[in-house]
Amino acid sequence: MPHMTIKTISRSEYMTALAATRMPWQERYYAFYSSVLGGIVTDPVLMQVPADDHLVHRGDGVFETFKCVHRAAYNLDAHLERLLRSAKEIAIEWCSGVAVQRLAQHSSAATAGDSIRDSVLQTLAVANRDDCLCRVILARGPGGFGVSPYESPSPALYVAVYAAGTPFMQAHPGGARAMRSSVPVKSGNWATFKHCNYLPNTLIKREAVDGGCDFAFSFDPHGFLAEGAAENVGIVTPQRELLLPKTDYILAGTTMARVMKLAEKLLADSTLTRVVFADITEEDVRRASELLVVGTTIDVASACVYDGAPIGNGRPGPVGTRLNALLAQDVIENADLRTAY
């Protein structure tokens, strides 16, 4: 019999113990929906996921993160479409009976996507913030601690609303520092959909931080540029071409897709000569006029140093600067991509 030094917490003591776990950073957490609880909580210490959800102990789930500006979710439908595509890859099928039934009263064609969308917008409304980030997680759900997904009787949906940070170039007007990562890219189609097993991404970010950089980039087995920890990356060549990695070993970002669309304006005035997916070598990166980093939370950042050497003239360039401004404008003004809450 071991010497017992850990106390056993009763149901009545649980809430007191939980309240004592509150940390300062949790003030940035605004609202959390859990289909397991069947509702929304605003107290950060209640934003819990069951330990036996396979999301926790197997990384078995998919997710999306999008930004909200001026009380509207940006590009929400594109994110939810990719969420459901990712869920299909790992055979998670969402069906919340209550939400779908309620939506069906207003539409005979209510879908799982409609149900998730409804839960997202209600959670954002409860959070009641003009600007924020929102993460949607579709998980295998509670059901056991084994490896079989069939332990879980039904999937679980979680929606977290939390504070948005300052856009990267606003916080770092001189640009970013970047480096090559030693972490291999995900193999096969594991790189091309957004699942919750983010261990390689975490290790890439750790390398960047430990290396004194803002971003680190992986390269595919053929030596071509792939992606960052949670960002897409591309270059502007001396010939004024915007090149983005082919999507064989990367997640095709929703923000990257918008940036490519917005880049058409730079083609029209000859700032750029073409915008294409291409095989990009590390030597291409070193010779680039600009090195651009694109993501939901950072917008378009200019990396001005790569592995200790300057990119171009070592300052943010015209293409990155304009694309960042065009994206910021798109987030605020593109009514087709803004969903009010």
| Residues annotated as part of the active site | 194
- Distance CA(128)–CA(161), nearest Å, equals 10
Annotate 147-157 with b (16+ C-beta within 10 A) or e (fewer): eebebbebbbb
Asked if 325 and 300 touch (Cβ cutoff 8 Å), the reply is no
CB atoms within 10 A of CB 103: 17
Query: CA 237 to CA 179: how far, in whole Å?
Result: 18
Q: Using alpha carbons only, what angle is made at residue 280 by residues 294 and 249, rounded to the nearest 5 degrees?
A: 70
Q: What angle do CA 20, 26, 30 make, to 5 degrees?
A: 120
State the Cα–Cα distance between residues 291 and 279, nearest whole angstrom: 15
Contact in structure between 320 and 292 (CB atoms under 8 Å): yes
The helix, strand and coil proportions of the chain, stated in percent and rounded to the nearest 5, come to 35, 25, 40
What Rg do the C-alpha atoms of the chain give, in angstroms?
Answer: 22
3-state secondary structure of 334: coil
How open is the CA angle 229-234-239, to the nearest 5 degrees?
165
Residue pair 319/242 in contact by the 8 Å Cβ criterion: yes
